[in-house]
């Protein structure tokens, strides 16, 4: 598989009056060309911060404290997005990597018609297309999300939530990106519309070969669509791998907790178990495994939560990795430090 985006040791901090909040902690992860990736984790785990880091869009009081984000161009040139100046970065945004931001439906300007959103978006990134060309292309990308061209004449308030979300997906496609980052793309929508939009995205992925990165707290919605999954907890990736491997051989207690909490249609809801406790305050110098206060192994004194040992990832299967060093002991399976 050819890499498309390589995130290396990315650390993002928010410098606040009461301390430094580490929202992304030494994140390393590679996204390959043509994949559909799901980054999942509870609210506050750092998903949106990671997305803004990948795009070098972290705003004060946030800052990228360390790390690199490499983008591989069509000629296999490796470009560190964090080292580009504003203009060069603008050339990559939208035409190479585009985004559908969290709560994006509110991002549509209420006083602009949809066609003006397309024109403004394109002009912000290139001057190589005429109005006519942009609107022709807008009709085409709207058809990918099964919206009629008449929508171009509408104001945002004339569209339903699902239509707005589809307009935003169409907008993200206007400059033929190679990859789209979708931050909670379906969260505000009803279940039927969620499935409909995911189905559309899968179709767009199949037809255009675009790499998709979903960032969401809702594992149940995306699990049927993604190839690989990365699980985030308190700013760290705690487990990643092919979705079927992570589901069949879950190797981190946090992932297990997330999976145990998913309700299904045929399920007895009382059998679902929420993860005890709540995510930690990220303004602290962690002395033990970040998940330890909520981990049944730690609470049963079966693991000492040695922080040092959780600073590495361990290989479980082929490409599946876990941050839980206890997993090997539990399964009598040899797990090795990744890259060791």
* Binding span for ligand ATP by CB under 6 A among 36-44, 104-112, 194-202, 262-270: 36-44
- Residues in contact with Mg ion, counted by CB under 5 A, come to a total of 3
Q: Identify which of residues 72 and 291 has a Cβ nearer to ligand SF4 in the complex.
A: 291
Hey, which residues between 2 and 31 contact ligand ATP (CB under 6 A)?
14, 16, 21, 23
- The whole-angstrom separation of Cα 275 and Cα 277 is 7
Q: How many residues bind ligand ATP (CB under 6 A)?
A: 17
Q: Taking Cα atoms as reference points, which of 182, 250, 203 lies closest to residue 31?
A: 182
Structure-token pair, residue 246: 């992570």
Residue from 30, 98, 99, 102 binding ligand ATP (CB under 6 A): 102
User: CA nearest 217: which of 180, 163, 261?
Assistant: 261
User: Is residue 325 within 8 Å of 238, Cβ to Cβ?
Assistant: no
Q: Judged by CB, which is closer to ligand ATP: 72, or 233? A: 233
Q: Which of 182, 196, 305, 321 binds ligand SF4 (CB under 6 A)?
A: 305
181: alpha, beta or left, given left = phi > 0 and alpha = psi -120 to 50? beta
Using rule CB under 6 A, residue 216 touches ligand SF4: no
Closest CA to 4 of 25, 39, 29: 29
Closer to Mg ion at the Cβ: 114 or 181?
181
Task: Indicate which of Mg ion, ligand ATP, ligand SF4, none lies near residue 292 (CB less than 5 to 8 Å, by partner kind).
Answer: ligand SF4
User: 263-292 mask for ligand SF4 (x: CB under 6 A)?
Assistant: --------------------------x-xx
Q: Identify the DSSP state of 273.
A: -
34's CB contacts (< 8 A; 6+ apart) are 209, 211
314 near ligand SF4, judged by CB under 6 A: no
Among 98, 211, 250, 310, binds ligand SF4 (CB under 6 A): 310
Q: Which residue has the tokens 């993604």?
A: 226
β-pairing, 236-242 vs 228-233, is antiparallel
> Candidates 29-37, 95-103, 136-144, 226-234 — which segment interacts with Mg ion by CB under 5 A?
95-103
Query: What own/partner pairs with CB < 8 Å and gap ≥ 24 does 82-86 have?
Result: 82/56, 84/56
Task: Check: CB of residue 332 under 8 Å from CB of residue 326.
Answer: no
Distance CA 223, CA 243 (A): 7
Give min distance, CB of 21 to ligand ATP, in A: 5
Residue 289 interacts with which of Mg ion, ligand SF4, ligand ATP, none, CB < 5 to 8 Å by class: ligand SF4
Question: Measured from the CB atom, is 47 or 166 closer to Mg ion?
Answer: 47
Nearer to ligand SF4, 64 or 289 (CB): 289
Cα separation, 330 vs 309, whole angstroms: 16
Q: Are 238 and 291 in contact (CB under 8 A)?
A: yes
By rule CB under 6 A, what string of x and - marks binding of each residue 193-232 to ligand ATP? ------------------------x---------------
CB of 58 to ligand SF4, least distance (A): 28
User: CB of 269: closest distance to ligand SF4 in angstroms?
Assistant: 26
Q: Where are the beta strands (DSSP E) in the chain?
A: 3-16, 19-32, 36-40, 62-72, 78-80, 97-100, 179-183, 211-216, 228-233, 236-242, 314-317, 320-322, 336-337
Provide the binding-site residues for ligand SF4, judged by CB under 6 A. Answer: 253, 289, 291-292, 295, 297-298, 303, 305, 310, 324-326
Contacts with ligand ATP, residue ranges (CB under 6 A): 14, 16, 21, 23, 41, 43-49, 61-62, 102, 217, 282
């Amino acid at each position: 598989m050819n890499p498309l985006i390589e995130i290396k040791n990315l650390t993002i901090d928010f410098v606040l009056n009461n301390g430094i909040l580490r929202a992304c902690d030494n994140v390393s992860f590679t996204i390959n060309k043509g994949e559909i990736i799901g980054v999942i984790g509870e609210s506050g785990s750092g998903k949106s911060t990671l997305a803004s880091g990948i795009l070098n869009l972290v705003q004060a009081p946030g800052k990228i404290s360390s790390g690199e984000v490499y983008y591989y161009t069509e000629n296999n040139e490796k470009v560190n997005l964090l080292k580009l100046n504003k203009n060069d970065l603008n050339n990559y945004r939208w035409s190479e990597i585009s985004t559908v931001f969290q709560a994006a439906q509110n991002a549509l300007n209420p006083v602009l018609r949809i066609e003006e959103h397309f024109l403004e978006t394109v002009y912000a990134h290139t001057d190589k297309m005429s109005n006519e060309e942009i609107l022709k292309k807008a009709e085409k990308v709207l058809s990918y999300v099964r919206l009629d061209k008449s929508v171009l004449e509408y104001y945002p308030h004339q569209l339903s939530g699902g239509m707005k979300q589809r307009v935003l997906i169409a907008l993200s496609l206007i400059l033929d990106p190679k990859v789209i980052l979708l931050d909670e793309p379906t969260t505000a929508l009803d279940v039927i519309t969620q499935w409909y939009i995911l189905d559309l995205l899968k179709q767009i992925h199949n037809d255009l070969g675009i790499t998709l990165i979903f960032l969401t707290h809702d594992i149940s919605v995306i699990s049927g669509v993604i190839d690989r999954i990365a699980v985030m907890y308190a700013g760290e990736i705690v487990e990643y791998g092919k979705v079927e491997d992570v589901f069949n051989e879950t190797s981190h207690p946090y992932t297990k907790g997330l999976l145990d909490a998913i309700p299904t249609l045929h399920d007895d809801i009382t059998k679902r178990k929420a993860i005890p406790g709540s995510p930690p305050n990220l303004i602290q110098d962690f002395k033990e495994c970040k998940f330890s206060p909520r981990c049944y192994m730690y609470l049963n004194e079966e693991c000492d939560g040695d922080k040092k040992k959780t600073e590495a990832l361990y290989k479980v299967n082929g490409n599946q990795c876990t941050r839980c060093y206890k997993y090997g002991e539990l399964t009598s399976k040899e797990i090795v430090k990744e890259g060791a």
